[in-house]
């Protein structure tokens, strides 16, 4: 059956093929799409290659996976033959530079997304290297970039590891197109277009697919369309403050969801179609109902450490209304919430309990935030100019029924075979304070000793730059947590996530945070020195030395100064 003619779903294989023998067992003479990933192939819906591969198969396309191929050898991706339509390239769950280097630019010794946790299975700047590999192995085959590395590097961006501005990764990789954000429907539409227009230049066929970027010219933009023009690459190189302007404009394009964006680069233009709308509840239910084995491919002889943390977790939604300035979610998953139905989530709980690997405990039900399932904007998002739905105070148009979330957790916990259900992290505490019933249910039944919460800092001025709640909001939540725990006779603790050396943070701010920790009697466990990851507003602050309003701020730049701030939270005993 030719998928170009009949797009009925294909039977879902136990694992997507990684070899010609697996293709032959499925009766596939060729692939339509080859997905190349910097992660090992784990057939779990939190791993992008598995998620997208099964989605395409469900829509009639034959998909194979080349996971962590030898980037020095084109034959490492040729085993299943030349794909008919395209190769999709992703660095994996993390930007490859972040996966390889610490906050102080030291090489990491492990990789949670590799069998045995061994480092070195993927290259630096994986999207660029894998694209070159495809071009050697399959000359002329369209190459499409996706995943977090491509998404956050889609326009001019600051690269912390080389300490310089880089132009769009689409240009540096010389790929045909880039998908930004969550890619299911963008990749599906792009694949359909390439199937329907054999021989047409890929960039031309793809132009206008929601959530995609291609190189072209201003004249290629649709007539009478709204266009958000970003500062050119050359303008940003000349005036670093323009990086802030470009980053804020891109945030607005994603959140408002209606305009094209264009960035001049030399005599060409980077053309970014409006973002793809969030998946509907029906599509979310379909996506997560596909028959993932939730196991690493049997090819691997050692476990993939990254699977252990999510093996019994369930994704209930995507997106986060917080819009924290250091978080990639605003530019990748967006602030719009896409939620599954309760029936779909509970069906997955039941399915997990029937697995031979089930041990009785659900590690989590949630998303980027634990308590935004079902959240929605009841205003006109296309006209919204807010940078966050929750700060400096919650938007009156942002609605979340947290009592429904509490009821979902209780129903999941009552599923036969479930002994424990924990919500260990991701709770948006300012939102939780709006619903005493949710907070009561959470603390009484679903904490399990420790709850990881992200106040990030205690300095009001630093929190404002982070787009995080004021310190008194966290103190209020902490008080409620302790009161409920004591009433239940439970010894439970909050473990705070903290950030050091954030742009705008001074030694005095860190001293204030250190004093606050001493007063609490807390020895910090979860402290991250700020890493300027590509694409975020905080990274623009770090590089340009200005806040979002353009006012100069203090920035700890050198590794010595950054380490000095970090060590202030760890006094010598």
Q: At 12, list the tokens.
A: 């879902």
Structure-token match 């509907």, residue found: 280
Of 500, 10, 1, 570, residue with least CA distance to 290? 10
Sort 124 into a burial class: Cβ within 10 Å, 0-12 / 13-18 / 19+.
middle
Structure-token match 């198969």, residue found: 57
CA gap 208, 146 in Å, rounded:
16
Q: What is the pLDDT of residue 4?
A: 42
Q: What is the pLDDT of residue 7?
A: 60
Summarize the chain as % helix, strand, coil (round to 5). 35, 15, 45
Structure-token match 């404009």, residue found: 249
Q: At 2, list the tokens.
A: 């030719």
Structure-token match 């009478």, residue found: 224
Q: What angle do CA 356, 358, 361 make, to 5 degrees?
A: 175
Residues near 127 by Cβ (< 8 Å), separated by ≥ 6?
Answer: 89, 90, 91, 96, 145, 147, 149, 150, 153, 169, 173, 175
Q: At 509, list the tokens.
A: 């701010």
Q: What is the pLDDT of residue 3?
A: 40
Rounded to 10°, the helix 184-196/281-289 angle is: 80
Within its chain, how far is the Cα of 330 from the centroid?
Answer: 9
| Strand partners of residue 453 | 496
CA gap 223, 312 in Å, rounded:
49
Give first-to-last CA distance, the chain, whole Å: 70
The DSSP bridge pattern shows strands 86-90 and 143-146 to be parallel
Encode the chain (573 residues) as per-residue pLDDT tens digits. 344 445 677 889 999 999 999 999 999 999 999 999 999 999 999 999 999 999 999 999 999 999 999 999 999 999 999 999 999 999 999 999 999 999 999 999 999 999 999 999 999 999 999 999 999 999 999 999 999 999 999 999 999 999 999 999 999 999 999 999 999 999 999 999 999 988 888 888 999 999 999 999 999 999 999 999 999 999 999 999 999 999 999 999 999 999 999 999 999 999 999 999 999 999 999 999 999 999 999 999 999 999 999 999 999 999 999 999 999 988 899 999 999 999 999 999 999 999 998 999 999 999 999 999 999 999 999 999 999 999 999 999 999 999 999 999 999 999 999 999 999 778 999 999 999 999 999 999 999 889 999 999 999 999 999 999 999 999 999 999 999 999 999 999 999 999 999 999 999 999 999 999 999 999 888 899 999 999 999 999 999 999 999 999 999 999 999 999 999 998 764
The DSSP bridge pattern shows strands 398-399 and 420-421 to be unpaired
Fold adopted by 20-214: Rossmann fold (3.40.50)
The DSSP bridge pattern shows strands 317-318 and 86-90 to be unpaired
String of DSSP letters for 528-542: EE----TT-HHHHHH
Taking the domains of the chain in order of start, what are their residue ranges? 20-214, 281-502
CA gap 132, 37 in Å, rounded:
14
CA gap 144, 203 in Å, rounded:
10
pTM of the shown model: 0.95
Of 405, 308, 372, residue with least CA distance to 46? 308
CA gap 258, 529 in Å, rounded:
36
Residue 465 dihedral angles phi and psi, to the nearest 5°: -65, -30
Q: Are 339 and 319 in contact (CB under 8 A)?
A: no
Q: Are 568 and 561 in contact (CB under 8 A)?
A: no
Cis peptide before 111 (omega within 30 of 0): no
CA gap 474, 457 in Å, rounded:
10
CA gap 121, 115 in Å, rounded:
9
Of 401, 464, 452, 466, residue with least CA distance to 431? 401
Instruction: Report the sign of the C-alpha dihedral through residues 514, 451, 114, 39, in that order.
Output: negative
CA gap 382, 403 in Å, rounded:
28
Give the CATH class of 281-502.
Answer: alpha beta
Q: Are 78 and 332 in contact (CB under 8 A)?
A: no
Q: Are 468 and 391 in contact (CB under 8 A)?
A: yes
Q: At 267, list the tokens.
A: 């005599």
Instruction: Report the sign of the C-alpha dihedral through residues 328, 507, 527, 393, in that order.
Output: negative
Q: What is the pLDDT of residue 2?
A: 42
């Amino acid at each position: 059956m030719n998928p170009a003619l009949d797009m009925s779903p294909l039977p879902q294989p136990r694992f997507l093929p990684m070899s010609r023998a697996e293709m032959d067992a499925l009766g596939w003479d060729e692939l339509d799409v080859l997905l190349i990933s910097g992660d090992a192939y784990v057939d779990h819906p939190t791993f992008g290659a598995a998620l997208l591969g099964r989605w395409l198969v469900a829509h009639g396309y034959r998909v194979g996976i080349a996971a962590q191929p030898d980037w020095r050898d084109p034959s490492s991706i040729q085993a299943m033959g030349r794909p008919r339509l395209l190769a999709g390239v992703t660095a994996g769950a993390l930007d490859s530079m972040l996966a390889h280097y610490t906050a102080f630019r030291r090489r990491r010794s492990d990789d949670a997304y590799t069998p045995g946790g061994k480092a070195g299975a993927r290259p630096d700047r994986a999207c660029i290297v894998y694209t070159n590999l495809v071009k050697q192995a399959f000359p002329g085959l369209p190459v499409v970039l996706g995943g977090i590395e491509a998404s956050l590097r889609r326009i001019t961006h600051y690269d912390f590891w080389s300490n310089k501005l880089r132009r769009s990764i689409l240009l540096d990789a010389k790929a045909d197109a880039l998908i930004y954000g969550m890619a299911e429907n963008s990749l599906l539409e792009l694949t359909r277009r390439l199937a329907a227009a054999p021989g047409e230049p890929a960039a031309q066929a793809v132009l206008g697919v929601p959530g995609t970027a291609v190189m072209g010219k201003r004249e290629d933009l649709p007539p009478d369309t709204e266009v958000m023009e970003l500062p050119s690459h050359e303008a940003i190189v000349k005036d670093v403050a323009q990086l802030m302007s470009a980053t804020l404009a891109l945030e607005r394009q994603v959140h408002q969801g209606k305009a094209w964006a264009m960035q001049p680069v030399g005599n060409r233009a980077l053309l970014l179609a409006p973002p793809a709308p969030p998946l509907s509840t029906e599509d979310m239910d379909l996506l997560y109902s596909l028959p993932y084995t939730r196991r690493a491919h049997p090819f691997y002889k050692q476990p993939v450490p990254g699977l252990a943390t999510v093996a019994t977790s369930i994704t209930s939604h995507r997106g986060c209304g917080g819009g924290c300035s250091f978080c990639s979610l605003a530019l990748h998953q967006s602030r719009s919430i896409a939620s599954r139905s309760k029936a779909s989530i509970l069906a997955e709980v039941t399915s997990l309990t029937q697995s031979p690997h089930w041990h009785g405990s659900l590690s989590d039900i949630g998303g980027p935030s634990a308590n935004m399932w079902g959240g929605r904007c009841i205003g006109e998002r296309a006209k919204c100019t807010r940078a966050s739905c929750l700060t400096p105070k919650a938007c009156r148009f942002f609605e979340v029924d947290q009592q429904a979330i509490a009821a979902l957790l209780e129903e999941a916990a009552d599923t036969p075979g479930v002994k424990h259900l924990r919500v260990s992290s991701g709770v948006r505490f300012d939102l939780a304070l709006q619903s005493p019933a949710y907070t009561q249910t959470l603390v009484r039944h679903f904490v399990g000793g420790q709850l990881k919460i992200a106040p990030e800092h205690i300095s009001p001025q630093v929190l404002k730059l982070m787009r995080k709640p004021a310190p008194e909001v966290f103190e209020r939540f902490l008080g409620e947590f302790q009161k409920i725990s004591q009433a239940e006779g439970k010894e439970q603790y909050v473990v705070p996530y903290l950030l050091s050396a954030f742009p705008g943070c001074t030694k005095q701010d860190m001293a204030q945070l250190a004093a606050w920790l001493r007063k609490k009697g807390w020895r910090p466990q979860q402290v991250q020195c700020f890493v300027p990851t590509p694409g975020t507003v905080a990274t623009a602050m770090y590089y340009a030395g200005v806040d979002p309003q353009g006012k100069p701020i203090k920035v700890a730049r050198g590794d010595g100064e950054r380490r000095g701030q970090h060590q202030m939270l760890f006094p010598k005993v």
